[in-house]
Amino acid sequence: MTTALDLITGALRKINVLASGEVPSGAEAADALVVLNDMIDTWSTEHLSVINNTENIMTFQNGKATYTVGNPVTGSFSGIVTQGSNIITGVTVPAGIILGSGLAAPGIPSAAVVTAIGANTITFTPALPATATFPAQLVSFTVPGDFPIARPLRVTNAYTRLTTSGQSNIDQPCDIWTLDQYSGIGLKTQPGPWPKVLFYNPGFPYSTITVWPVPNGAAELHMWTDAIIADFATLTDTVSLPQGYSRAIKLSLALELAPEYGKQPPALLGAQAKKAKDALRALNASPPTPSSYDGGIVAPGRADAGWILHGGFE
């Protein structure tokens, strides 16, 4: 496991800001953490820098073609978190919070979801009680869209799975179309048993998915998206990285931090950073799709002289 501080320390050593065995000061580490998170955000926008794809499973609603996607933090409230309890007390309930909102605060598990809203209480997922007591602290909350997942940067693949009784577990392709392609559909309200086309519009803070034909039966959307590389909330946050990522991050971060310390990074460092990141891109590149051909066209020539009898025609 690697911490944010490990990555920062390694990067600063590569530009000779730190010697072996030294660690950055609190202020240096805090500033570098901001730069690290900014760089990671940029890596998430680069398809070939993303570690993996995520399968998101969502349920269509009959007659509904457009769905909002996202689960952004939209506000906060003050409340008392008690260890072993799943009820936050002393709350002035904020406008906007709804059932299904996500919660984030010290002591509250990361997967906590609002299940009940009282006059001065908020109840979250019962199976995940608070791990510590924190009196009168700020708790942030999200407002989920129709599909409450992290807003995808891009959709890479999708299919529809039928869940109707008697026809369950049958998968149908769902093509990813551009706006120009979707605009060319004449009857966008056409009902169908399942969608065959998906148009993704990456708005912010919510993006939207529009499908066609309009769902008219029990079905799930299985949508594959690039996994967003998570930011580090603190210097002690840990992350498990695949082979090659730790070195690539340290080298790239060293280049990002060098100007802040008045350093001119050596050409070798830039070459090493490029080589490390190119290796990740090569690893993450999709293999070419095998070509398919008409068997009649590519069939080998006849091994006999039969063509003489039929003149070359079947």
Structure confidence by residue, pLDDT tens digits, 208-235: 999 999 998 889 999 999 887 888 888 9
Residues 18 and 135 in one domain: no
- Phi first, then psi: give them for residue 104, nearest 5 degrees: -145, 125
In the chain, count of helices (H) and strands (E)?
7, 18
Q: Do 275 and 186 share a structural domain?
A: no
Give the confidence band of 310 by pLDDT, cuts at 50, 70, 90. very low
Contact status, residue 289 vs residue 49, Cβ threshold 8 Å: no
Q: Whole-angstrom Cα distance, residue 128 to residue 112?
A: 7
193, part of any domain: yes
- How high is the pLDDT of residue 273? 95
Q: Are residues 124 and 81 in the same domain?
A: yes
> Tokens for 171?
């998968």
Q: What is the mean pLDDT of residues 197-212?
A: 96
Q: Is residue 289 pLDDT above 80, yes or no?
A: no
- 155 and 218, same structural domain? yes
In this structure, what CATH number is given to the domain that contains residue 20?
Answer: 1.10.3230.20
Q: Are strands 191-192 and 134-142 parallel, antiparallel or unpaired?
A: unpaired
Mean predicted lDDT score pLDDT of the chain: 88
Q: Which residues pair with 303 in a beta bridge?
A: none
Look at residue 171 and tell me whether its pLDDT is greater than 70. Answer: yes
φ/ψ (deg, to 5) at 43 = -60, -35
pLDDT for residue 201: 96
Check if the beta carbon of residue 7 is closer than 8 Å to that of residue 24.
no
* Cα separation of the two ends of the chain: 67
Q: Is the pLDDT of residue 308 over 50?
A: no
* CB-based contact 241:173 (threshold 8 Å): no
287 has pLDDT over 80: no
Number of domains in the chain: 3
pLDDT at 202: 93
For residue 183, is pLDDT > 80?
yes
190: containing domain:
53-69+148-226
Residue 147 has pLDDT above 80, yes or no: yes
What is the pLDDT averaged over residues 2-25? 94
